Amino acid sequence: MKIVKTTIASYTNTSLSVFSREESFFQSPFHSHPEFELVYILESHGKRIIGNSVESFQPGDMVFLGDDIPHVWLNDEIFYKGINSLKAKAIVIYFSRDLFGNSFYELPEAQEVKKFFAQAIKGVSITGETNTLIAKKMNKLLKKKGFEVVMGLMEILSLLSRSKDLRYINDNSYVPVTEDNKSDRLAEVFKYVKSNYKEEISLDEISKIANLTPTSFCRMFKAKTKKPFVEYLNEIRVSNACKYLIETDLGISEIAYECGYKTASNFNKLFKKLIGTTPKEYRKNALV
Report pLDDT digits (tens) over 52-68: 788 899 999 999 999 88
User: In terms of domains, do 253 and 199 share one?
Assistant: yes
Domain termination site, one of 168, 190, 215:
168
Q: Are 91 and 43 in contact (CB under 8 A)?
A: no
What CATH code is carried by the domain that includes residue 248? 1.10.10.60
For the chain, percent of residues with pLDDT exceeding 90: 50
Q: Give tens-digit pLDDT for 235-256.
A: 889 888 888 887 788 999 999 9
| 235 and 187 together in one domain | yes
Check pLDDT > 60 for residue 2.
Answer: no
Full residue range of the structural domain in which residue 30 is found = 4-168
CB 270 within 8 A of CB 234: yes
Domain count, the chain: 2
| Whether residues 11 and 75 fall in one domain | yes
65: buried, middle or exposed (CB in 10 Å: 19+, 13-18, 0-12)?
buried
Strand partners, 74: 47
pLDDT of residue 87: 93
Give pLDDT tens digits for 190-214: 888 888 999 999 999 999 998 899 9
157 and 243 in a single domain? The answer is: no
CA atoms lying within 13 Å on the CB side of residue 150: 10
Please give the pLDDT value at position 179.
40
| Per-residue DSSP letter, 198 | T
In whole angstroms, what is the distance from residue 91 CA to residue 135 CA? 9
Q: Does one domain contain both 141 and 271?
A: no
Please count the CA atoms within 13 angstroms of the CA of 88 that sit on its side-chain side: 22
Rounded distance between C-alpha atoms, residue 24 and residue 26, angstroms: 7
| Same domain? 101 vs 192 | no
Domain annotation covers residue 173: no
- The verdict on 162 and 258 lying in the same domain is no
Residue ending a domain, choose from 110, 133, 168: 168
Last residue of a domain, one of 168, 198, 229: 168
Shared-domain flag, residues 127 and 28: yes
